[in-house]
Amino acid sequence: MNIMMNIKRFHPGLYIKESLSALEMTAKEFAARTGISERTLSAIINGNGDITFDVAYKLAAYFDNSINFWTNLQNQYNVYLLEQNQEAEIEEEWNLIKSIKKYLLEVNYISSTDSKKEIVLKCRELAGVISLLLLNKKDSFVCLKEQHVKKESDTFLQNFWIALALNKARKKNGIAFDKELLINSIGEIRSMTIQDPTIFYPRLEKILNNCGISFVLLPYLPKSNIYGATKWFSRDNVMLAISNRGEKADLFWVTLFHEISHVLMEHRRETLINMKDNVDVEADKMAADMLIPSNLWKKFVDSKKYTEETIRDFANKVGVHPCIVLGRLNKEKELPYGLFSKTFNVQYKITIS
């Protein structure tokens, strides 16, 4: 066997073992001649121990070669083992990501010609991690709270979506958060509900960025159950991320204003997603009042007059799209879901770059 031609494949102890065989010397005698303990030498010869610097020094002195010769043998073998482990890890990562291959293709994150390894490497880069297995741990990027929806959530998918958002947000130009400017911009943002996405989206992104908010819009990831998230990077920098779940206009605006509420209330303690506690209830109320003033809403609801005409007239009065009014009526169980939906519901097609 030519050991030197296969350095990466074999433990360096095999070289010592063959050398002792050629010298017709036992390991016990070699240990006595070099000062290497029998236990250490036995482990190395059997491929269960590493050649340390001290052992390399003694081997180099006996065989009349360099310390680097022995340390390089060990390092190259260690690299070989690492490469073997990486291939196994990539397979594990593929098992995590393969269920959303269709999603990754639809949003052009990967190509149909990509191999499993290429897909895994691309997803690592997108999420900004050295291994997708890191995203399979609870609370990797976010303290996950009870979800609004009662479906079983997938920890990996939740962390993957959050990681995508965080990585994308950090690439935006940082401007210090300006709470007063954001408050003064609420009226203009609310007026965008009656505009087409091609008109309002560039302006919305500019407004939020000027307010010091890294605004990220990502495709909704099925089974992640995440529709929006906020994360403070520092005292003056915050991310606001939402998904285009269902591509429905009312869901887009309710989610956006909900996350804006978290930002205005400066909930900095953790990344907030789909929480179902007092913090989220407070954000829901603020979002609802920003979209439709509470005094006007109370008067409208007290009337109990819900027709296509009254809903449209009320929406015009408060300056929002009728789908916002219908969505709130549905949520507060004033009207059953489906009624007037064909008239007022709007589908959004927002191109996410």
Q: Quick check: is 102 in a domain?
A: yes
Q: Based on the domain organization, do 125 and 45 belong to the same domain?
A: no
pLDDT in tens, 19-50: 999 999 999 999 999 999 999 999 999 999 99
Residue 277 has a pLDDT of: 46
Residue 84 has a pLDDT of: 82
Mean pLDDT of the region 292-321:
95
Q: Based on the domain organization, do 307 and 175 belong to the same domain?
A: yes
- Could you give the C-alpha distances from 298 to 83, 209, 264, 295, in angstroms and in order? 65, 34, 24, 5
Q: Based on the domain organization, do 63 and 212 belong to the same domain?
A: no
Q: Quick check: is 249 in a domain?
A: yes
Q: Based on the domain organization, do 10 and 40 belong to the same domain?
A: yes
Domain carrying residue 198: 155-344
β partners of residue 241: 216, 229
Q: What share of the chain is helix, strand, coil (3-state, %, to 5)?
A: 60, 5, 35
Q: Based on the domain organization, do 23 and 69 belong to the same domain?
A: yes
Q: What share of the chain in percent tops pLDDT 90? A: 62
For 134-138, 271-275, 291-295, which range has the lowest pLDDT when averaged over its residues? Answer: 271-275
| Secondary element (H or E) of residue 190 | helix 179-191
Q: Which of 148-157, 318-327, 337-346 has the highest mean pLDDT?
A: 318-327
Residue 3: pLDDT band with limits 50, 70, 90: very low
Greater pLDDT, 201 or 4: 201
Q: Based on the domain organization, do 109 and 81 belong to the same domain?
A: no
- Share the mean pLDDT of the chain: 87
Q: Which of 196-205, 244-253, 343-352 has the highest mean pLDDT?
A: 196-205
Q: Quick check: is 351 in a domain?
A: no
The pTM of this model reads 0.75
Query: Which alpha helices (DSSP H) does 64-178 contain, by range?
Result: 67-97, 101-106, 116-127, 155-169
Q: Quick check: is 237 in a domain?
A: yes
Q: Based on the domain organization, do 210 and 242 belong to the same domain?
A: yes
Number of domains forming the structure of the chain: 3
Neighbours of 240 (CB within 10 A): 22
